[in-house]
Amino acid sequence: MVNIKDLFKNSKTGYLYFYIHFVVEIVCFFYLSRVTNNSAFIWLVPFIYDGLAFVPQSIIGYISDKYPKINMGLIGVILLVISYLLYGLTNISVYISLVILCLGNAFLHVSGAEDTLRASNGKLSPAAIFVSGGSFGVVSGKLLARTSLNPLILIPLILTIIPFVLLSKTYIKKDSNTNNFNYVKEGLNPNVVIFVAVLVVIIRGYMGYGIPTSWNKTTLQLIIFFCTMGLGKALGGILSDLFGIRKVAIISCLLAIPFLCFGDNNMFISLIGVMFFSMTMAITLGILVSKLKKKPGLAFGLTTIGLFLGTAPIFFIKLNMIGNIIVIIVASILCSIALGYILKGDKK
């Protein structure tokens, strides 16, 4: 555990990649929202996006771990620009630019994970702050897509990422590594730990789409919902560093249950649950890096595979209100038990 002054002082890469992640999701969800206005693509494009943006991150992360001198962030910028040029200037199939867009997203995510984890000295806050930027970008991209803005206008925004990517590399020292991630109890089978952590991510991914939020009907409510989710992701890492990861993991899972289940018609109750529910993102990443110390890119990639496996069923299965509540209760309890078993006790 650390004091709050040191926590924010050592999260410089997190701030840089908060902005990068914010821009990446603006670009991606502007594109997705525009394309899915065509009813023929309304479910297929998001499904392809989730698969191609999430799953390849494990492969890209593995390559990044093995060849750290390759700047994955700059490759991601180039791919995003190419995707938008194809989308805005040509009449080729939308799926070609979509594939390139997904890969650009994947490269930049891996770059953010590698940099924030390597420069964090074993703390979760930098990676949590980086990840939280995505929620703010998602809602911004959705809103921008409702305007008449020409897609090519976003290319200069993409290019603003470059100095942030380059600056983040200056905080990676020769001896920067992830050896200080030691959140898992000694003696546990590494494969079991990895499996359970990914399973928790899968559950979280599924629950994220099943949260009852019939109150979410206006633009302002949409903004508040995604901003609360982003805040929860950041707080998961920050509070874990301040008060202990095991404590935050168990409490956030259990406290989320009543607010998620009974907040369907009440925005403020629901948002409290969304915030607690979102906190586990950084925690599961910390678990995986604790067992894959030399492979932080791969560790992050496993979380994105988990997210895809969790969200994929949503495209084909729709539960009713009672079904969603049952899933939330059972899944949250199981996650709290699993995380409590895996994680070390918090030091006073």
Model pLDDT, residue 216: 85
C-beta atoms surrounding 116 within 10 Å? 33
Write the pLDDT tens digit of every residue in 179-200: 899 999 998 999 999 999 999 9
Quickly list H helices, the chain. Answer: 4-9, 12-35, 44-54, 56-66, 72-89, 94-118, 125-144, 154-159, 161-169, 190-210, 219-243, 245-261, 267-278, 280-291, 296-311, 321-342
Give residues with Cβ within 8 angstroms of 339, minimum separation 6.
200, 246, 249, 250, 253, 280, 283, 287
Write the pLDDT tens digit of every residue in 143-161: 999 999 999 999 999 999 9
Which fold would CATH assign to domain 4-342?
Growth Hormone; Chain: A; (1.20.1250)
Q: Which 3 state secondary structure label does DSSP give 317?
A: coil
Whole-structure pTM value: 0.92
Model pLDDT, residue 3: 63
Cα separation of 149 and 23, whole Å?
16
Cα separation of 152 and 82, whole Å?
11
The ranges of the chain with pLDDT < 50 are none
- Terminal Cα-to-Cα distance of the chain (whole angstroms): 8
For residue 211 the two structure tokens come to 């949260």
Model pLDDT, residue 41: 58
Q: Which 3 state secondary structure label does DSSP give 39?
A: helix
Cα separation of 343 and 288, whole Å?
11
Write the pLDDT tens digit of every residue in 206-257: 877 767 778 888 999 999 999 999 999 999 999 999 999 999 999 999 998 8
Q: What is the largest CA-CA distance in the chain?
A: 61
